[in-house]
Amino acid sequence: MTGLQETSQASPHVQTPFDRFWREFAESRLALLGLAVLIIVMVIAIAAPLLAPQNPYDLAQLDVLDGKLAPGEQSMGGKTYLLGTDDQGRDMLSGIFYGLRISLSVGVMSTLFALGLGLVFGMLAAYFGGWVDTLIMRIVDIQLSFPSILIALILLAVFGQGVDKVIVALVAVQWAYYARTVRASALVERQKEYVEAATVLALSKPRIVFRHMLPNCLPPLIVVATVQVAHAISLEATLSFLGLGMPITEPSLGLLISNGFTYLMSGKYWISFYPGLALLITIMAINLVADQLRDVLNPRLKK
């Protein structure tokens, strides 16, 4: 499934593992759609300052008189805002572009840190076994028996607000999933013949673990990581919505929604509806890709 194993048993046709992977992935139109949307969302997030009609956080560009304009409504100055404006006359479309940037980077960053941490602990548990394994897996079990939102809330209630604190909380919530996944697949891989072969060749233990076992443990990990990015983004938005996540200086999608919630009752739906829609599209796109990845990377489902 991964580079190392695939190249050693390459089929007569010149077909790289990636080709095969891509062909299987592209079998689902829905997954391709998800991937396309995801790429667009990522481009928007990365190039937000170039694409956004205005810089929503440059006060000089804001006009309070343009506040709370409905989508498409023309302002006094003759400007039209595609998705309307918020209470301070901020263009919602630009706000969403910048918000995507913050939401995505927090989601991806926390996932990467959690992945690293989970990988280390999962490998340690599988490699050493015995009491190390029992201790680590007990902690994982206990943590996973509590809902992630509760753990994140506890941590943020203790730490207080801040970007770094949100990331720490998200990492603390997620690492256990990776640790469990890595340990499970490492235990399976350890029994396989190629590891035995490598051992017979008298390769060093770190080499066996990192060059031989680790690449084969990656597929399930990639699936978990994709799902978890969506989860992290949604959790961050929830925490920010509750006022416990990002500070006002870092307006993620969750904060935008929270800000618009006040105006929802008076029928000014767009201030919180469109950031919510952006959040939703992002999460759905990631989940579609993750679903197909799970099918493609799961050897049990191979025909």
Residues that bind another protein (CB under 8 A): 141-142, 144-150, 153-154, 157-159, 177, 230-231, 234, 237-238, 241-244, 257, 261, 264-265, 267, 269, 272-273, 276, 279-280, 283-284, 287, 291
In the complex, the smallest distance separating the C-beta of residue 180 from another protein, rounded to whole angstroms, is 9
Q: How far is CA 195 from its chain centroid?
A: 32
Cβ-based burial of 99 (10 A; exposed 0-12, middle 13-18, buried ≥19): buried
Question: Is 66 or 270 the residue whose CB approaches another protein more closely?
Answer: 270
In the complex, the smallest distance separating the C-beta of residue 266 from another protein, rounded to whole angstroms, is 8
**In the beta sheet, which residues pair with residue 91?**
85
Question: Is 124 or 237 the residue whose CB approaches another protein more closely?
Answer: 237
Question: Is 108 or 203 the residue whose CB approaches another protein more closely?
Answer: 108
In the complex, the smallest distance separating the C-beta of residue 159 from another protein, rounded to whole angstroms, is 8
In the complex, the smallest distance separating the C-beta of residue 16 from another protein, rounded to whole angstroms, is 32
Rounded to 5°, the CA angle 7-295-109 comes to 85
Question: Is 64 or 150 the residue whose CB approaches another protein more closely?
Answer: 150
Question: Is 172 or 214 the residue whose CB approaches another protein more closely?
Answer: 172
In the complex, the smallest distance separating the C-beta of residue 148 from another protein, rounded to whole angstroms, is 5
In the complex, the smallest distance separating the C-beta of residue 85 from another protein, rounded to whole angstroms, is 18
In the complex, the smallest distance separating the C-beta of residue 35 from another protein, rounded to whole angstroms, is 16
In the complex, the smallest distance separating the C-beta of residue 138 from another protein, rounded to whole angstroms, is 9
Question: Is 47 or 280 the residue whose CB approaches another protein more closely?
Answer: 280
Question: Is 208 or 244 the residue whose CB approaches another protein more closely?
Answer: 244
Rounded to 5°, the CA angle 124-232-244 comes to 115
Question: Is 41 or 279 the residue whose CB approaches another protein more closely?
Answer: 279
Residue among 41, 29, 22, 28 nearest 285 (CA): 41
